[in-house]
Amino acid sequence: MTSLLPYLIAFASAFALTYILTPIVRETNRRLGMVDKPGERRINKTPIPRGGGVALMVGVIASLAAMTLLTDFSPFGDAVWAGARFWKIAALSVLISLLGLADDKFSLPPKVKLAGQLVIAALAWLWADLGFRTLWPDLPAWLDCIMTVFWIAGAVNAFNLIDGLDGLASGLALIATLGMGGALCMTGHGASIFFHCAFAGGLLAFLRYNYHPASVFLGDSGSMFIGFILSVLALAAQTPNSFLISVGVPLLAMGVPIFDTGLAIIRRSIRRQLNIRTSSGGKSSGEVMTADSDHLHHRILRAAASNQRKAAWTLYIIALCCVVVGLVGMTFKSRAGGLWLFAVAAASVVIFKDVARVELFDAGRLLNSVVRDRAKGSRRKIARLAVPFYVAFDVAALVAVFFVCSWAMNLPIARATLRVTMPIRVISIFTCLVFFKAYSTVWSRAMTSNYVRILLACLFGGAIGGGLIYYLPPQFHANNAPMTLLYVSTSAVVIAFIRLLRGIVRDTFYAIDCSRLKGRKDVSRVLVYGCGLRYRAFRRELVRSVSSNDRIIVGLLDDDILLRGHYIGGLQVLGTLAQAPEIINAVNADAIVIACEVKPEWMKIIKDTLKPCGVKITHFTFSEKEIQQ
């Protein structure tokens, strides 16, 4: 218990000092006019003072400074340089908090604020001797400086951007601090968590006033201070071969704000390019550093029906899960890689589901704009590169497939194999692709027969290559038959896939568009009557107009009762025309598109059946007409 006393004192003193100072700072900032007023991007409904992070900074740094002066206990363990490093970190912490306070008061330009952050991060490397060289001793100084500045500035901006809900940034920081401290304790570096204890105490005290309904906001002075301290604690905890402690767990602990920052950069960059392309003067109406309302907390808040506590706790749980994965991974030692792989896979599913409605949709709009911009000379240049691209990809794919197949069959890859066997197989199939006109086909308008040609080219090419290898000396044709079969089948799949990729991407963006449109109230919900070629043509038109579409197909109707319940093009056949009134009410449809040939007498039956439903009826048709000369 005696050994734990300094850590408890650090926690309690920071908690008490922050708890006392926060109301004082809150009222002072209110009188100074540092208040967040309700607005378009503001979630608060009443004016709330900002800049309360100054109380957190003073509470944590002052309590640690007092204990350092009054006792022999070091905030960073037993290292000789720990005391000097603490005072340098304390000075830089005050400096970055003052930079944030200036922004809270005067609303500094984003570029000025970023420049200040970079200078302070550079001082942390140069003056406070922080960096990654303890973890990687062979790292060049210039690269270490860049990585350190990027690490610190990235963490600072990550917490600055995520600070959009009551108690969100401070709560996430508390979880991250506990996770990083737990990682140190698990690896026998418990003496180094003195700073973590004080920081956790200050955050917990500030949450008393910052949790919903908040009476004070962190402001930039607090969010930038939090990001700086967390990034610095990770760097200060470095020891040789301590990747999980100094990089892995901190990355997971700060995963939510870091991921949100990455998304913001991607989203704003894409929208900036869209603005440039759509504006008449060719200039952007938005910058990467311009604020928007599509951060993670904004999206979760909308999904939670503006319930701030529910939204904040959703992100708390995500952050806590990330920390638990990191800590559990440390206990697995040699098996940690598998756990981390599972975590990445699970995170990828969540990420894709989250970004599909915004970032991927905006990316699709940008790609669609570039592809369909016929006035641009660059489009013609890109079109000319199609054939060279296919040639280069096919050759690279054939070479890669050879190595993969050799590895799968445990075949040795000697120098003679690379000089003889591989060129024969690659050149044989490539020559047949040329012969079967694979590079004179417009693949965006390809039919099934074109893909059959690819299969035949691979079969003939593989047979020719296998035959040539058969007549080589014995050392070259070991396992020739199974290798030929595997090589032919894999090559055909890979080469066909790249030609199908355009359609796959187009259908993917259409699915994303449908997901986005489901949440809008001004979208027309359409039932399609008919599941034949005209339906496919109608759906293709919707796919091609993905960026300007305001209709969504919610189901299909067809009089073939054998189709009921089955899916065509990802949409379910819900019933026949006679069942249309019930289906329209069930799916809340407001329009019917007839996508089949209809005779006048049958059209009258359709109208009579659908008239009581009050839905709009359109007929999608394509026909051939003679042009009179």
Question: For residue range 82-121, what is the model confidence (pLDDT) as tens digits?
Answer: 567 888 999 999 999 999 999 988 888 888 999 999 999 9
- pTM comes to 0.66
Alpha-carbon gap, residue 276 to 299, rounded angstroms: 26
167 CB-contact burial (10 Å; exposed 0-12 / middle 13-18 / buried 19+): buried
SS (H, E, C) 420-487: HHHHHHHHHHHHHHHHCCCCCCCHHHCCHHHHHHHHHHHHHHHHHHHHHHHCCCHHHCCCHHHHHHHH
**Domain assignment present for 386:** yes
Sequence-separated (6 or more) residues with CB below 8 Å from residue 236: 76, 85, 89, 130, 192, 195
Question: For residue range 139-166, what is the model confidence (pLDDT) as tens digits?
Answer: 889 999 999 999 999 999 999 888 888 8
**Domain assignment present for 373:** no
Which strands make up the sheet holding 567-568, listed edge to edge? 567-568, 571-575, 551-557, 524-529, 591-594, 616-619
Final residue in a domain of this structure, among 482, 509, 536: 509
Q: Given this model, what pLDDT does residue 80 score? A: 40
Same domain? 528 vs 446: no
**Domain assignment present for 266:** no
Number of compact structural domains in the chain = 3
Alpha-carbon gap, residue 247 to 523, rounded angstroms: 46
**Domain assignment present for 45:** yes
**Domain assignment present for 406:** yes
On the CB side of 63, CA atoms within 13 Å amount to: 30
Taking the chain, what is the end-to-end CA distance rounded to the nearest angstrom? 102
Same domain? 394 vs 494: yes
Say if residues 568 and 578 touch (Cβ distance below 8 Å).
no
**Domain assignment present for 348:** no
Same domain? 119 vs 181: yes
**Domain assignment present for 54:** yes
Question: For residue range 514-559, what is the model confidence (pLDDT) as tens digits?
Answer: 666 665 667 888 999 998 888 888 877 776 665 556 788 889 999 8
Question: For residue range 36-73, what is the model confidence (pLDDT) as tens digits?
Answer: 877 666 676 788 899 999 999 999 999 988 888 877 66
Q: Which domain holds residue 433?
A: 380-509
Name all contacts of 334-341 with Cβ < 8 Å and 24+ positions apart: 336/244, 340/248
Q: What is the CATH number of the domain that holds 550?
A: 3.40.50.720
